[in-house]
Amino acid sequence: MIRLLTILGAMMAPTMGDAQCETVLFDGAEFTACEVDLTQANVRLFLRNDAGEVYGTFSRVENELPQGARLGIAMNAGMFHEDRSPVGLYVEDGEQEMRIITSDGPGNFGLLPNGVLCLGEDGAAVIESRAFAENPPECTHATQSGPMLVIDGDLHPRFLPDSDSLNIRNGVGIEADGGRMWMVISDQAVNFHHFARFFRDYLETPNALYFDGRVSRLHAPEIGRSDLGFPIGPILGVVVDEAALDGSGEGG
């Protein structure tokens, strides 16, 4: 079967800190995929400021970055409780706020297998949660969510091609060697099967993790986009050093 696969627009963004976004029409739905070179970009998680207050929005993260830095590509990065604390494992700057959850449960998070996005010194990985718990890697930043979208090249076994559960969805995929990451949001409501196939069949990521639906947001200023809505929990973002990019000196 030949799939409809048309790039609607690819926007190079040299000032994004080695990241770029494209909008793709895949099997009748549009997706925005932002590729991040993890060997060059400064990628991290954000939850609370120095006062312990949850950021909740992209603008609050940017406002509290050091002078000379700004927020590049960013998105919500995992499910959260009403107080916006993370549902599962959360590690920021090497400090763990929430432990890993390996039991099944209600909702999308508990639709096992779920997984963990781990950001480390040598790149990134999406790891199934029980495998992560059995042999925890060193993660400078980590966030747990679920379900897994792609697991070692296979779709999650519970996904149905004809499911009528449609939502705007977002998630993350990592290439096999851990050097590149794709942050993806569907620009139209899709089911899990459709969303997961975008990662497996178009991006060809062997592992991918679902972040959320309905509350899904993307911040990509170089393509003129910063989605609004009520406050969210964990945020995954690229920190751009403006001074380093324009060659004017060292940034903050």
189 in a domain, yes or no? yes
The range of the structural domain enclosing residue 173 comes to 31-245
User: What DSSP string describes 121-139?
Assistant: TTEEEEEEHHHHHHSPPP-
Q: 159 lies in a domain? A: yes
CA 128 – CA 135 distance, rounded (Å): 11
Average pLDDT, the chain: 91
Mean pLDDT on 39-57: 97
Total count of domains within the chain:
1
Q: How confident is the model at residue 148 (pLDDT cuts 50, 70, 90)?
A: very high
Give the bridge partners for 208, in sequence order: 150, 173
- How would residue 18 be classed by pLDDT, with cut points 50, 70 and 90? low
11 is a domain residue:
no
| Stretch 32-36: mean pLDDT | 98
Does residue 15 fall inside a structural domain?
Answer: no
- Domain annotation covers residue 131: yes
pTM for this structure? 0.91
- Residue-wise pLDDT tens digits, 211-241: 999 899 999 998 999 999 999 999 999 999 9
- Per-residue pLDDT, averaged over 3-27, amounts to 62
Query: What is the mean pLDDT of the segment spanning 52-71?
Result: 97
